[in-house]
């Protein structure tokens, strides 16, 4: 039997598995998958169509099949579930935690969603899922799961242990035991260690820790990710506006959020207007790329027109044209470096001690140092290979571009974030096109003034 690599599906394995599916070789299929994790099986099924995947899942234990469906990519899963009956979908959701079940139902048409909820056997889970569906999927209420372990403040340790045993049947992983009052108001948490080491007659109120980080149902996913990163948490309790404990968010949900955010920022920085993947349709890929390509094209045409305005300078000293790429490339690199640092800080939601003016002044000092070093190197090169006048023109323009590009690269992402746009826009074609045009204008203006003075 071929060994399946955790990160890569071999062609030999896929070919053999495909033959087994086509020939309905149940024994081969079961043996091939029995030692694999459900995440690995999900990757395998993404190589097959919905009907073939449906057949494979029917051969697996229901708990495994439910976990595989949960691990499928959202776009794959949407097509995948079209081959399943309402009853089958409901049976799998009955085996998933409420947050995962709600996520899957959100992907279904409203009619099918209601039919699936009506077919859920676990009435408590159905009630919880309906509650979760009320929330926007990008806020704490939409991310949380209803499964958790909570105990009353006035209970004894032995009552607490009995309750943990009862509730733990519905909770896949116990990260914390939450302490609430009669109204389910979150008061704190008690560690399993404290429970195990305490006298069974002790009360929870004497051993619990009231210092607990919590989030409200309306908080957006970016804030939640920032809180989890800041305090290095594996789980966060969620409370409503009245402080009542209503759910919990685990680190695996936040990892998905952070991964999605990073992917969006990478695509924005690359100049992609939509969230696309390599295997999307030709039209979708083209549509995602075209907007910023058109903007870049317009920037290039404006730059060409700008060069035409200074035709007299080029006619007088044609060597000026040789260093246009140097000015544009350096300015773009400096701008992207500055904006990337700011975007990174904004993504982590760091609390800055410096005011905006202090930060700009700091950037200004860094730009002066870099500008002086780069300009000195360029001056020496042009002075030795061409002449002193052109060296002075290029270095003066280069120094100015470095200063202005550094400041723009700092200010633009901050402004974008302030007005509600993703600051990652400032690290892509937006900032490079702007600085290219600015660099050309500065370069030819300096050249025109200096050569006119001479």
pLDDT of 358 > 70? The answer is yes
Where is 236: in which H helix or E strand? Answer: strand 235-239
Tell me how far apart the alpha carbons of residues 311 and 305 are, in angstroms, rounded to a whole number.
Answer: 10
Both tokens assigned to 301: 């045409």
Measured CA angle at 118 (ends 117, 119), to 5 deg: 90
Which of 35-39, 169-173, 330-334 is the least confident region? 169-173
pLDDT of 350 > 60? The answer is no
Residue 425 lies in a domain: yes
Q: Tell me: do 291 and 427 sit in the same domain.
A: yes
Rounded mean pLDDT, 402-413: 87
Mean residue pLDDT of the chain comes to: 84
Q: Tell me: do 98 and 119 sit in the same domain.
A: yes
pLDDT in tens, 384-407: 988 888 999 999 999 999 999 888
What is the β-pairing status of strands 235-239 and 245-250? Answer: antiparallel
* CATH at residue 185: 3.10.580.10
Sign of the dihedral through C-alpha 431, 437, 443, 449? negative
What are residue 235's phi and psi, to 5 degrees?
-155, 150
Domain enclosing residue 225, as ranges = 149-250
DSSP secondary structure code for residue 274 in this structure: S
Side-chain-facing half-sphere of 388: CA atoms under 13 Å: 1
Q: Tell me: do 53 and 133 sit in the same domain.
A: yes
Residue 5 lies in a domain: no
Q: Tell me: do 164 and 131 sit in the same domain.
A: no
Look up tokens 């990892």; give the residue. 255
Q: Tell me: do 296 and 339 sit in the same domain.
A: yes
Q: Tell me: do 130 and 179 sit in the same domain.
A: no
Please give the tally of structural domains in the chain: 3
Q: Tell me: do 19 and 132 sit in the same domain.
A: yes
Q: Tell me: do 127 and 172 sit in the same domain.
A: no
Q: Tell me: do 379 and 449 sit in the same domain.
A: yes
Residue 352 lies in a domain: yes
Side-chain-facing half-sphere of 120: CA atoms under 13 Å: 24
Measured CA angle at 161 (ends 156, 163), to 5 deg: 95
Q: How would residue 7 be classed by pLDDT, with cut points 50, 70 and 90?
A: very low
Q: Tell me: do 131 and 240 sit in the same domain.
A: no
DSSP secondary structure code for residue 441 in this structure: H
Residue 2 lies in a domain: no
Q: Tell me: do 86 and 175 sit in the same domain.
A: no
Sign of the dihedral through C-alpha 296, 298, 301, 306? negative
């Amino acid at each position: 039997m071929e060994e399946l690599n955790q990160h890569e599906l071999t062609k030999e394995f896929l070919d053999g598995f495909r033959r087994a599916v086509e020939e309905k070789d149940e024994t081969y299929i079961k043996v091939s998958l029995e030692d694999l994790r459900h995440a690995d099986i999900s990757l395998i099924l993404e190589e097959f169509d919905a009907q073939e995947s449906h057949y494979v899942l029917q051969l697996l234990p229901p708990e495994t099949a439910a976990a595989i469906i949960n691990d499928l990519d959202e776009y794959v899963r949407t097509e995948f579930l079209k081959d399943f009956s309402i009853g089958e979908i409901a049976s799998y959701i009955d085996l998933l935690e409420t947050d995962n079940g709600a996520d899957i139902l959100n992907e279904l048409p409203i009619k099918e969603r209601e039919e699936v909820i009506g077919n859920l056997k676990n009435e408590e889970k159905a009630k919880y899922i309906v509650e979760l569906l009320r929330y926007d999927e990008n806020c704490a209420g939409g991310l949380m799961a209803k499964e958790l372990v909570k105990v009353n403040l006035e209970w004894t340790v032995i009552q607490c242990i009995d309750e943990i045993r009862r509730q733990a049947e519905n909770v896949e992983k116990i990260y914390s035991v939450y302490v609430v009052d009669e109204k389910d108001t979150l008061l704190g948490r008690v560690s399993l260690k404290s429970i195990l080491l305490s006298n069974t007659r002790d009360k929870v109120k004497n051993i619990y820790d009231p210092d607990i980080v919590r989030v409200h149902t309306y908080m957006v996913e970016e804030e939640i990710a920032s809180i989890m990163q800041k305090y290095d948490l594996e789980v966060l309790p969620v409370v409503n506006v009245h402080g009542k404990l209503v759910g919990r968010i685990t680190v695996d949900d936040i990892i998905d959020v952070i991964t999605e955010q990073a992917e969006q920022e990478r695509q924005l920085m690359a100049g992609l207007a939509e969230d696309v993947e390599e295997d999307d349709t030709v039209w979708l890929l083209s549509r995602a790329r075209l907007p910023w390509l058109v903007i870049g094209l317009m920037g290039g045409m404006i730059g060409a027109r700008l060069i035409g305005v200074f035709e007299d300078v080029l006619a007088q000293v044609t060597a000026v044209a040789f260093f246009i790429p140097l000015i544009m490339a350096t300015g773009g690199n400096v701008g992207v470096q500055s904006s990337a640092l700011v975007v990174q800080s904004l993504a982590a939601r760091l609390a800055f001690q410096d005011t905006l003016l202090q930060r700009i002044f700091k950037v200004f000092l860094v730009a002066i140092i870099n500008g002086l070093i780069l300009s000195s190197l360029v001056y020496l090169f042009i002075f030795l290979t061409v002449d002193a006048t052109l060296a002075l023109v290029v270095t003066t323009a280069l120094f100015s571009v470095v200063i202005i590009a550094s400041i723009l690269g700092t200010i633009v992402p901050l402004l974008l974030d302030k007005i509600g746009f993703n600051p990652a826009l400032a690290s892509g074609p937006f900032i490079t096109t702007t600085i290219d045009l600015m660099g050309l204008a500065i370069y030819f203006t300096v050249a025109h003034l200096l050569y006119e003075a001479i």
